[in-house]
């Protein structure tokens, strides 16, 4: 922690929490046992991010594609979300954390929708870490929603095709209120983005670790941030331009 440069923290970190199933299977347990333990990591990382001074943290909890998993795993995950959110909201609120949910939330069961709504409303005025949970989320789904939204504006004459800019698309995404992630972490040794924030990750530094999500803790987050701080972010410029601030 002492080695972190607090003036060069990524404002927004996005995490693909992968490896719960394998972690459990390696222990001869059911996959849900892994998800259950994954919640401890969520708690630890949210606390750590808040303590370190990260402003935005996005966690990929459930993808659109995850609906195709065995029914028992999907049902188990849904009740885990509902129980965890209900249980954690008072503490999150006490710690000034503001919760957001992104994704096709209309597909969620009613109790999950109610839990999400309650969590969002309770923490709406908090000013600390903004915790964004991607649930029933996929980037291609999000982009299609955004394009439909813009097409409607063009169709009704509120906008001309030539008015469409990067900012137009950004405003139509579910992440419009947040800056793009600067650091994307994926656990468990998979080297993919898996339909996660495809547009928003355009300039993110990508960090992959073999550690399974249920074993991922504050020290692992700090290692990822230290790795981020050791990189030179050029945004298409040359190294010399970056170093001389041209
Ligand atoms: C990926 O591991 C993980 C998930 C699909 C679920 C992640 C959910 C949690 C950690 C619970 C979080 C709870 C809240 C409230 C945010 P996997 O099942 O794909 O693992 P595998 O690749 O080893 O099979």
Contact 184/14 with Cβ under 8 angstroms?
yes
Per-residue model confidence (pLDDT) at position 70? 95
State the distance from the centre of ligand 1 to the C-alpha of 120, rounded, in angstroms: 21
Instruction: Identify the structural domains of the chain with CATH numbers, from first to last.
Output: 12-138+179-243 (3.40.1180.10)
Place of tokens 């808040």: 50
Reported pTM: 0.95
- The residue whose C-alpha atom lies closest to atom 16 belonging to ligand 1 is 61
Q: pLDDT per residue over 194-210, tens digit each?
A: 999 999 999 999 999 99
Contact 215/221 with Cβ under 8 angstroms?
no
CA distance 66 to 73: 9
Residues with a CB atom less than 6 Å from ligand 1: 17-22, 35, 38-39, 42, 59, 61-62, 66, 80-81, 84-85, 133, 213
Contact 60/137 with Cβ under 8 angstroms?
yes
Confidence of residue 191 (pLDDT cuts 50, 70, 90): very high
Catalytic residue list: 18, 66
Contact 102/130 with Cβ under 8 angstroms?
no
* Mean pLDDT to the nearest integer, 128-154: 98
- Asked if residue 241 has pLDDT above 90, the reply is no
Pocket test for ligand 1, best of 14, 15, 17, 210 (most atoms within 8 A of CB): 17
- The residue whose C-alpha atom lies closest to atom 6 belonging to ligand 1 is 61
């Amino acid at each position: 922690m002492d080695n972190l440069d607090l003036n060069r923290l990524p404002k927004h970190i996005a995490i693909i929490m992968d490896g719960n199933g394998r972690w459990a299977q390696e222990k001869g347990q059911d996959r849900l046992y892994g998800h259950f333990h994954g919640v401890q990591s969520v708690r630890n990382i949210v606390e750590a991010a808040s303590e370190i001074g990260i402003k935005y943290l996005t966690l990929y909890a459930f993808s659109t594609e995850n609906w195709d998993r065995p029914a028992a795993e999907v049902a188990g995950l849904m009740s885990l979300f509902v129980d965890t959110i209900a249980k954690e909201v008072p503490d999150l609120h006490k710690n000034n954390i503001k919760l957001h949910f992104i994704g096709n939330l209309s597909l969620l069961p009613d109790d999950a929708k109610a839990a999400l709504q309650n969590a969002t409303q309770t923490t709406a005025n908090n000013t600390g870490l903004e915790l964004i949970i991607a649930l029933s989320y996929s980037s291609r789904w999000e982009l299609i929603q955004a394009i439909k939204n813009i097409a409607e504006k063009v169709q009704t004459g509120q906008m001309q095709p030539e008015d469409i800019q990067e900012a137009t698309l950004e405003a139509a995404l579910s992440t419009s209120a947040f800056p793009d992630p600067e650091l994307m972490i994926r656990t468990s040794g998979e080297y993919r983005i898996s339909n996660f924030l495809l547009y928003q990750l355009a300039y993110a530094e990508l960090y992959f670790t073999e550690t399974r999500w249920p074993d991922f803790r504050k020290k692992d987050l700090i290692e990822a941030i230290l790795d981020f701080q050791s990189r030179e972010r050029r945004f298409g410029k040359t190294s010399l331009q970056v170093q001389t601030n041209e």
